[in-house]
Amino acid sequence: LLHTAVLFLFESRPQIKKNLQRLIIIAFYLPVIPFSVVIKKFILSEDTYLMVTATQLVKPFVLWLVIALFIAASISRRLAKMVEEKEVQKFHLAIFWSVIAIAILIGFTLLFEGNKLPYIGNYLVLISMLSSIFPSIIFSYYVYRYNYMEFVLRRSVFYSFLTLILICLYYFGIKKLSKTLEHHYFVNAKILESVFVISLVFWFPTLKERIQKLIRKLIFFRIANSEYMLNELSHVISADPLVNFNKLLEYVVTSINKATAIKSINLLLFKSERTQIIGNKKYEPVTQSDLQHIIQFFANGEYVVLNRYEVKEVSIINEMRLLDAIFLFPIFVNRRLTGLLCLGRARRGVSITSDNLDQLMIIANEIGSAVEKSKIIEEKLLLERKMYENEKLSSLGRLSTSVAHEVKNPLSSIKAIVQVMREDLKNNESLQEDLTIIVDEIDRLTKVVNQLLQFAKPTSELKTSVRIGDVINSTLVVLNHEAKQNKIATFCQIPNDLPAIITDEGALKEVFFNLIHNAIQAMPSGGEININAHYQPSNHMIQVTIADTGIGIPQASVQKIFEPFYTTKQTGTGLGLSIVKKKLEEMDAAIRVENNGEKGVSFIINFPLNEPILTQF
């Protein structure tokens, strides 16, 4: 009893070192050493009350016993103050008072010779001998009533079977063995039976576990398999979601389907104004406004399962029908509803047990934790990526500025000298042609240098209200001549009522100039450029698409085209798209590329409308 109480205390105080724990437990067993010399006398004696009659052994042993009981009681009292659950507090207090009562009873009966009192002395001895049963009764009550320490599983079947085995083991094993030893070796049968019963009690957890597994395999195979699969799923979800999060959610849906044999399982995750649905959805996409009564029901952050056959509110029932759901499990992140786990009807002849519902609630909680973890990891990776990009761009910017200035000054001098030579040698036509080529090459180098300077140029703080359609049209006016020379047709579809954005107009012109000019260069034999723009009210953004019918981009290069100095062309610096991406990031906009194979490339830009000043005009 003292050993068990101390283990409970150590579990609540993990800071105590393991070696110290072992020393304390060994110290509790030291008083047994002097008592061990008389074990033979106890086994061979036929006197049931040897502990009472053997006066030279009584008081030291009983004194140690009473002290051990008082220590165990004080530990139970301390544990009752440390735990928060009311049932566990009551359990420890019940053990405390029962052990105190036993210690007082044994101390009074044997230390203060209460056993010699007339009329009640023998009864006190009998009650003292039976007193060890009372803590076991208390423990059994809490196991049965509150499933304490998760000791009980299918009580009626399991414990009936286990009780039958124990009775058979006692009558046909222990009792017969003790009688045989008593008859042939003159051993005290009662003492032997006590030793065997105590050994059986110590062996009980192992026996219970083995029989429990056997019953679950033979009788509750499907249920056991279902619970095992849901348990494994819970462990998988609780692991750090460094894998693809959507793949993890798909695995969750598939695993629940296998474990519960439910036809329709869907995971709904609420993201801003849209709803992500993962699973075997058989209904139209739903929005949060379609589920307002369910969302309102879970607004207080209460973890409860919604059963459609038990819900009384018609509005919630209708919304559950919309989701084809019989059961709804809330998914919370920081007590805020972020999703729903929807379970439909089970296959015929298969039912969902209460244990399955409990496990699914745990899984829903684990999904909420996984959502939170994935957001934290995603934000961390994004921050690290931005820091790396900023550091890389900063280094490239400094390098570009240094190189550009070192090259630009000599180029200006060379160009000035060449232009003077052209004036002096007007009559020499052969030299005039060579000097013209030199000037053109100097201009080309100057353009490259200017691009380097533009890449390293700090962000402009001048932001005005800009209409995207006007900027694109003005850019097309500049590039229209080059497009016609290359037999390229341009088609522009931009609504007149497109909202304005607040940004640097010069930077926006440069973005569209680079993208449209790249599209023209990608179609030397002619083609089409299609420019579309539209407002997306669902996420409050303007999306612009610039698509060409050129040769496309090799798939291996798609992920690299925005990197500085990376180019797939024979000429060029590889800075054009890097500048585009940098400028767009400064506007809080995002760009992505879609490779259409032999049909060309589409660049898709999303401009956010976050400022209240953004209006239509």
Per-residue pLDDT tens over the stretch 210-252: 766 665 555 444 444 555 566 666 666 666 555 567 777 777 8
Bigger pLDDT: 196 vs 38: 196
Residues 230 and 368 in one domain: yes
CA dihedral 199, 201, 206, 212 (to 10 degrees): 140
Within a domain: 294:
yes
Mean pLDDT of 16-20: 78
Lowest mean pLDDT among 109-113, 158-162, 286-290, 418-422: 158-162
Structure tokens at 50: 């040897």
Query: What band does 613 get if pLDDT is binned at 50, 70 and 90?
Result: very low
Q: What was the pLDDT predicted at 247? A: 77
Coil, helix or strand at residue 499: coil
pLDDT tier at 14, thresholds 50, 70, 90:
low
Flag whether 389 is in a domain.
no
Report pLDDT for 614.
36
The pLDDT, as a whole number, for residue 544 is 92
- Are 22 and 151 found together in one domain? yes
User: Pick from 410, 432, 456: which residue ends a domain?
Assistant: 456
Q: What is the mean pLDDT of residues 423-435?
A: 78
Which among 564, 481, 567, 477 has a CA at the least distance from the CA of 522?
Answer: 567
Q: Let me know if residue 616 belongs to a domain.
A: no
Work out the pLDDT band at 545, boundaries 50, 70, 90. very high
Q: Determine the average pLDDT of the residues in 2-6.
A: 78
Yes or no: say if 98 and 91 are a contact pair by the CB < 8 Å rule. no
In this structure, are 251 and 322 located in the same domain? yes
> Angle at which helices 221-238 and 189-218 pack, to 10 degrees?
80
Q: Of 219, 253, 274, which residue is a domain's last?
A: 219
How far apart (Å, rounded) are the C-alpha atoms in residues 63 and 530? 97
* Residue 468 and residue 452 share a domain: no
**Per-residue pLDDT at 612:** 40
Distance of CA 518 to the CA centre of its chain: 43
Residue 71, domain member (yes or no): yes
- Region 547-573 average pLDDT: 68
What pLDDT does residue 561 have? 72
Tell me, yes or no, whether 469 lies in a domain.
yes
Q: In what order do the strands lie in the sheet with 327-333?
A: 274-279, 265-271, 336-343, 327-333, 306-307
Q: Give the DSSP letter of residue 172.
A: I
Q: Do 253 and 211 sit in the same domain of this protein?
A: no
- Range list of β-strands (E), 351-476: 464-466
Please give the tally of structural domains in the chain.
4
pLDDT at 151: 46
Question: What is the residue range of 568's domain?
Answer: 464-608
Q: What residue has token string 């002096």?
A: 424
Report residue 285: phi and psi, to 5°: -55, 140
What does the pLDDT look like over 114-132, one tens digit per residue? 778 888 877 888 788 778 7
Check whether residue 157 and residue 32 sit in a common domain. yes
Q: Tokens at residue 150, please?
A: 């998760």
Whether 383 maps to a domain, the answer reads no
Whether residues 55 and 200 fall in one domain: yes
Write out the H or E segment, with its range, that includes residue 149: none
118 in a structural domain: yes
Is the pLDDT at 391 greater than 50? The verdict is yes
> Is 233 strand, coil or helix?
helix
Query: 462 pLDDT exceeds 60?
Result: yes
Question: In the listed set 456, 483, 505, which residue is the last one of a domain according to the structure?
Answer: 456
Look up the CATH number of the domain holding residue 517.
3.30.565.10
pTM for the model stands at 0.38
Return the percentage of the chain with pLDDT > 70, whole number.
66
| CA 125/CA 376 separation, integer angstroms | 66
* More confident call, 435 vs 531: 531
More confident of the two residues 163 and 93: 93
Q: How confident is the model at residue 608 (pLDDT cuts 50, 70, 90)?
A: confident
Longest dimension (CA), the chain: 148
- Name the one residue in this structure whose structure tokens are 């590889």: 574
Could you report the per-residue pLDDT of 135-188, keeping only the tens digit for each?
Answer: 877 776 666 555 455 444 444 445 555 666 667 666 666 677 777 777 776 666
- Residue 344 to residue 341: CA distance in whole angstroms: 10
> In the chain, what percentage of residues exceed pLDDT 90?
2
Residue 385 has pLDDT above 80, yes or no: no
- What local confidence, expressed as pLDDT, does residue 59 receive? 74
Shared domain for 215 and 133, answered yes or no, is yes
Give mean pLDDT, residues 274-302: 79
Q: Are residues 7 and 136 in the same domain?
A: yes
Query: Highest mean pLDDT: which of 282-286, 474-478, 528-532?
Result: 528-532
Question: Which CATH number belongs to the domain containing residue 232 in this structure?
Answer: 3.30.450.40
With contact defined as beta carbons under 8 Å apart, do 325 and 241 qualify?
no
Rounded to an integer, what distance in angstroms lies between the CA atom of residue 356 and that of residue 346?
Answer: 12
Same domain, 198 and 69: yes
Of 555 and 149, more confident: 555
Q: Rg of the chain over CA atoms, in angstroms?
A: 42
Which has the closest alpha carbon to 237: 227, 250, 220, 218? 250
Q: What is the mean pLDDT of residues 595-614?
A: 73
Burial track 478-490 (b if 16+ CB lie within 10 A, e otherwise): ebeeebeeeebeb
Between 207 and 76, the more confident residue is: 76
- Looking only at the bridges linking them, the beta strands covering 488-493 and 527-536 are parallel
Q: What is the mean pLDDT of the chain?
A: 74
Examine the domain organization and report whether 119 and 198 are in the same domain: yes
Q: Do 484 and 413 sit in the same domain of this protein?
A: no
Give DSSP secondary structure letters for 407-430: HHHHHHHHHHHHHHHHHHTTT-HH
Domain assignment present for 17: yes
Average pLDDT score over residue span 457-470: 74
Alpha-carbon distance of 238 to 214, in angstroms, equals: 29
